[in-house]
Amino acid sequence: MFNIVISTHQLKHHLRIVCAMSDIELEQQQPQPMLPQTPPRRRRQAHSRCDGAHHNIRDKHSQPALTDQMSACPLRHGVEDDWTWSKRYRSKEVVLSGPNSRTVHFHPNWSKGTAGIQGKRALNNGRYYWELHVSQRVFGTSIMFGIGTKSCRLHANAFRNMLGENEHGWGLSHKGILWHKGVALVYTKGFRENHPTQIGVLYDGIEGTLTYYKDGKCLGVAFRGLDKVNEPLYPIVCSTAAKTEMTLKCARREFVNLQDRCRAVIMRRLRTAGNVEKLKLPLSISEYLGEVIDDMEPLRQVNEQEMCMINYDLEV
């Protein structure tokens, strides 16, 4: 056996729930007994408003774009989440427009600092995904996407990486750098300047993680331990660049079931794929537990030379 500090009773309890619920799923997938085949009869298909999408996905001759779009959304089995930006918690250099005030304009005239805005959705204890379509004005010191508490600053009279400058925020800048507690970590390539892009943010309050997507591609887990934050967390974006525009195009949430909650408790103790293998569980259970294991290498902290390059840009 492996050396893991966990109550045997608790582990068995949570595994029993996971296994039981998985058994239900397996029973539903059992093949039906073969029946004598009869000549097929042509009949008129009845379509409902919901069935249409499912028929398109199952049909091998349907449009591949729809299938790709459905599979690309992290919470495709969730429901729409109709939140928008706060008119109260925002910088004086932010203007809202569009349906339901979902479009944010930063520094409408010229920029002389950093402006931010907070979303109305409180995120804790659930799974949420939202997408931001960013205009082609991608340049400058910092355009940031992430989450934070109400203690985050939403305005600064200086060009800075404001989201993540302290312990109250977790942010990704358009230069591919993660910020939290003032520490910068290399996460991904910098965004192409003066080119529109789409940023997705997946907050998992059960596993305690924040994951980013860029133009439909998952960039991996960026932050962990968010399930231990006691204060309410909110979506936040900020920018130093003049006339930046972001539109909230998609927002979804998921109903978290008991099976997922039990997995979160188990994996906080097991942590690695090796420890899961030592349990010698059925393959379907091992794969389910392994879905939340991240094999990415630890992120590297930004060095002094890179930091100089990051802070070199001037605003327009």
What is the secondary structure of 65-83 as a DSSP string?
HHHHHHHH-TTTTSEE---
Q: Where are the alpha helices (DSSP H) in the chain?
A: 8-28, 51-58, 64-72, 258-270, 273-278, 283-290, 304-310
C-alpha–C-alpha distance, residues 134 and 285, integer Å = 40
The amino acid that residue 195 corresponds to is H
C-alpha–C-alpha distance, residues 213 and 217, integer Å = 5
**pLDDT of res. 13:** 66
**pLDDT of res. 38:** 42
For 150, which DSSP code? T
Average pLDDT, the chain: 79
C-alpha–C-alpha distance, residues 316 and 313, integer Å = 10
C-alpha–C-alpha distance, residues 263 and 13, integer Å = 11
Give per-residue pLDDT as tens, 121-149.
999 888 999 999 999 889 999 999 999 99
Token pair 């887990």: residue: 221
C-alpha–C-alpha distance, residues 70 and 133, integer Å = 18
Asked whether the predicted pLDDT for residue 28 surpasses 60, the reply is no
If pLDDT is split at 50, 70 and 90, which confidence band does 311 have?
low
Q: What is the pTM of this model?
A: 0.67
The amino acid that residue 55 corresponds to is H
Asked whether the predicted pLDDT for residue 43 surpasses 70, the reply is no
**pLDDT of res. 258:** 77
If pLDDT is split at 50, 70 and 90, which confidence band does 66 have?
very low
- The b/e string for 252-269 (b: 16+ C-beta within 10 A; e otherwise) is bbbebeebbebbbebbee
C-alpha–C-alpha distance, residues 304 and 311, integer Å = 11
The amino acid that residue 222 corresponds to is A
- The most distant pair of C-alpha atoms in the chain lies apart, rounded to whole Å, by 77
| 3-class SS of residue 314 | coil
pLDDT above 90 covers a percentage of the chain that reads 49
Give per-residue pLDDT as tens, 246-256.
999 989 988 66
For the chain, report the end-to-end CA distance as a whole number of angstroms: 61
What is the mean predicted confidence (pLDDT) over 70-98? Answer: 86
Asked whether the predicted pLDDT for residue 69 surpasses 50, the reply is no
What is the mean predicted confidence (pLDDT) over 86-95? Answer: 96
